[in-house]
């Protein structure tokens, strides 16, 4: 059944699209598409996206599902405090792990620990 649908759809697409149509769309000096059609297509896509958001929210009781939100783990041992780009391919990162802070220099070929110290207790979580 699915194979028959695929064959039918591919046949329809092949008959609709032709080489002459592709040449005209790609190489035409003037635009044949009216602005009304462009704005109607945009309006249709916006309505379709709004409907998808509405359905997702209805499915999950008014809130977005977990795959679309960021969930912080309460038992995480590793936390990125700050990361700065210091060169086109190098980063300087401050990481906390097991009540210790590490200052790391990360580049394409290596990661180097520059400094290690106990974690600061005054940081806000």
pLDDT of residue 123: 54
Rounded Cα–Cα distance for residues 98 and 43 (Å): 52
**Residues 86 and 92 sit within 8 Å (Cβ to Cβ):** yes
Judge if 93 and 112 occupy the same domain.
yes
Tokens representing 56 are 């997702």
The answer as to whether 108 is a domain residue is yes
Give the DSSP letter of residue 28: -
Asked whether the whole model's pTM tops 0.75, one would answer no
Does residue 21 lie in a domain region?
no
- Residue 7 falls within a domain, yes or no? no
pLDDT at position 22: 53
For every one of its 125 residues, what pLDDT tens digit does the chain have, with 9 covering 90 and above? 666 667 666 766 666 655 445 555 555 556 677 888 889 999 999 999 999 888 888 887 777 666 666 665 667 788 888 999 999 999 999 999 888 999 999 999 899 999 999 887 645 54
Is residue 36 situated within a structural domain? Answer: yes
113 with 84, same domain: the answer is yes
Establish if 3 belongs to a structural domain: no
Gyration radius from the chain CA atoms: 27
CB atoms inside a 10 Å sphere around CB 66:
9
Give the strand pairing for 78-87 and 110-118.
unpaired
Q: Decide: 10 and 16 in contact? Cβ < 8 Å.
A: no
pLDDT value at residue 102: 93
At 26 the pLDDT is 55
Q: CA-to-CA distance for 54 and 50, rounded, in angstroms?
A: 6
Quick one: 35 and 61 in the same domain?
A: yes
How many separate domains does the chain show?
2
Examine residue 39 and state whether it is found in any structural domain, yes or no.
Answer: yes
Residues 89, 58, single domain; the answer is: no
Residue 18 counted as domain residue: no
The domain containing residue 47 runs over which residues?
31-71
Pair 64, 84 in one domain: no
- The residue among 71, 86, 103 that closes a domain is 71
The answer to the question of residue 23 being in a domain is no
pLDDT of residue 73: 60
Q: What DSSP designation does 20 have?
A: H
């Amino acid at each position: 059944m699915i194979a028959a649908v695929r064959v039918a759809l591919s046949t329809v697409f092949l008959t609709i699209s032709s080489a002459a149509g592709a040449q005209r769309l790609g190489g035409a000096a003037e635009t044949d598409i009216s602005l009304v059609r462009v704005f109607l297509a945009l309006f249709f896509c916006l309505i379709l996206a709004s409907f998808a958001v509405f359905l997702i929210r209805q499915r999950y009781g008014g809130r977005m599902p977990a795959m679309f939100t960021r969930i912080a783990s309460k038992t995480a041992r590793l936390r990125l405090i700050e990361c700065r780009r210091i060169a086109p391919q190098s980063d300087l990162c401050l990481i906390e792990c097991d009540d210790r802070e590490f200052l790391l220099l990360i580049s394409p070929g290596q990661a180097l620990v520059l400094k290690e110290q106990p974690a600061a207790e005054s940081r806000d979580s």
